[in-house]
Structure 1
Amino acid sequence: MRTPTAVFTTAILGLALSQAAMAYQEGDFIVRAGAATVSPNEDSGNVKLGGTKTDMTVGADSNTQLGLTGTYMLTDHIGIGLLAATPFEHTLSLKNGGNLDGSLADVKHLPPTLTLQYYFNDTAADLQPYVGAGVNYTTFFDEEFSSKHKSANFNDLKLKDSWGVAFEAGVDYKLTDNLLVNASVWYIDIDTEASFKVGNTKAKVDVELDPWVYMVGLGYKF
């Protein structure tokens, strides 16, 4: 069974083959803004407490913020794209921890992503599909345990920053010569290690977040 993202990507590629596109030219700059949702596809290791492996794992919920992207066209078909956003905030949850299960901590992050993009079409019509690949850097900050876990003496939470590959697919649809509507999706490789203490005992857990990022918004071509 194909995922919604696979269907979306297939549709974009099909449109690229069947439609003419909004004319993008070397030197054009396109900015886009809209709602961006980070939906983690996490795979957690087991929490190690004092060096001993436990049954506890962690999860993360989704979050939506203002997404911003910019593209500079190096040629009529190739551009450099940057994904930025206001800080995303996720609630980490603890699993298999008995009465400690549930909301564990709140964490903020920024995931700037740089990609090399390919735009399929160059004729003066309304549609411009594209794909891209590049690199992501995610920095975590404002890590804070829930009140329940603070009272259980959980403290000193830190998440390591992450470097990883990123892939994207999107489509612009021209509303005027300069104004456009955009829909896009990214898959981003984000791996981190969360370290903390329970009392004075050190603990850590490895988490692969690997989110899908979805964005719908408006854009303007300069």
Structure 2
Amino acid sequence: MSRTIRLSVCAALLAGTALTSAQAADLPSTKKAPLAPILTQWSPWMIRGRALVVVPQEDARLKLGGAPIVGGDVNISNSVVPELDISYFFTQNIAVELVLGVTPHNVKGAGTLAGTRIGSAWLLPPTLMLQYHFTGLGAFKPYVGAGVNYTVFFNEKAKGGFTSFDLQNTFGLALQVGFDYMLNEHWGINFDVKKIFLEPKVKVNNGLISGKVKIDPWLIGTGITYRF
């Protein structure tokens, strides 16, 4: 084969290879594009409904006509009430919780005042808690909190022959520990314990008996969690 023929064959082979490559580049690709990651939507809102047991840890410093009542104390009844709270999460760990509910109590004398009926009252104690929620434990989600409480006393009624019974609205501090156990993305169960430090002023018979009553209740609750 002459040199001219060999050069012609090589040129034809190169031209054919280039044409095949160009045609392949024009064909649609069968390789699938990587799937975009599916992001779980995170909601900052949570609500809970609880059955709440309120257990006062009472103590009193009372005066009669300005003189201390030696050994005088009070006994405040326990109460079981429904409670609603609303939480907002700033991050996965930091949240605020507003606790709402009302609770009724009867007040009787104790110590040297034992057997004396004093009065009854309803408490509206909205409490705002700043919480830290622990993560990385799966469905088990414990938390701790600290906050402030403002208790409003209403529907106060004197009993046992007294003509008036008045408790002064007051601020208090609150501590909290609890956990949620999530059954699925939205629903869970909750157990929660709070301690409120509360010491309002009290007046009976328009100040004939006066002083301070340390209530300091434990609030023990369990209920349902819903995460939006």
Band the TM-score falls in, shorter-chain normalisation: 0.7 to 0.9
For residues 88-99 of structure 1, what are the structure 2 equivalents within 5 Å?
88-97=103-112
For residues 152-167 of structure 1, what are the structure 2 equivalents within 5 Å?
154-167=162-175
TM-score by length of 2: 0.77
Choose between structure 1 and 2: higher strand proportion: 1
Cα offset, 1:205, TM superposition: 2.4
Tell me the residue number matched to 2:100: 84
The 1:120/1:104 distance shift into structure 2, 3 A limit, reads same
For residues 15-164 of structure 1, what are the structure 2 equivalents within 5 Å?
27-45=43-61, 47-55=62-70, 56-85=72-101, 87-97=102-112, 101-122=115-136, 125-146=138-159, 149-150=160-161, 154-164=162-172
| Contact kept? 2:84, 2:100, Cα under 8 Å | yes
Letter in 1 for 2:66: G
Structure 1 unpaired stretches of 5+: 1-23
The 1:79/1:122 distance shift into structure 2, 3 A limit, reads farther
Cα offset, 1:25, TM superposition: 8.4
- Larger radius of gyration, structure 1 or 2? 2
Tell me the residue number matched to 1:205: 211
Structure 2 unpaired stretches of 5+: 1-39
Check if 1:182 corresponds to 2:190: yes
The 1:25/1:74 distance shift into structure 2, 3 A limit, reads farther
Tell me the residue number matched to 1:9: none
Cα offset, 1:156, TM superposition: 2.1
Q: C-alpha separation between the residues in 2 aligned to 1:62 and 1:177?
A: 35
| Contact kept? 1:93, 1:101, Cα under 8 Å | yes
CA shift digits 1:139-180 (9 cap, x unpaired):
11111122xx22xxx122110111111110110001121011
Q: C-alpha separation between the residues in 2 aligned to 1:191 and 1:26?
A: 40
SS at match of 2:200: strand
Among the aligned pairs, what percent are the same residue? Answer: 31
Q: C-alpha separation between the residues in 2 aligned to 1:71 and 1:96?
A: 42
Tell me the residue number matched to 1:13: none
Q: C-alpha separation between the residues in 1 aligned to 2:95 and 2:136?
A: 13
Higher RCO (CA < 8 A, seq sep 6+): 1
TM-score by length of 1: 0.79
**RMSD of aligned C-alpha atoms?**
2.0
The 1:167/1:26 distance shift into structure 2, 3 A limit, reads farther
Provide the aligned length of Structure 1 versus Structure 2.
188
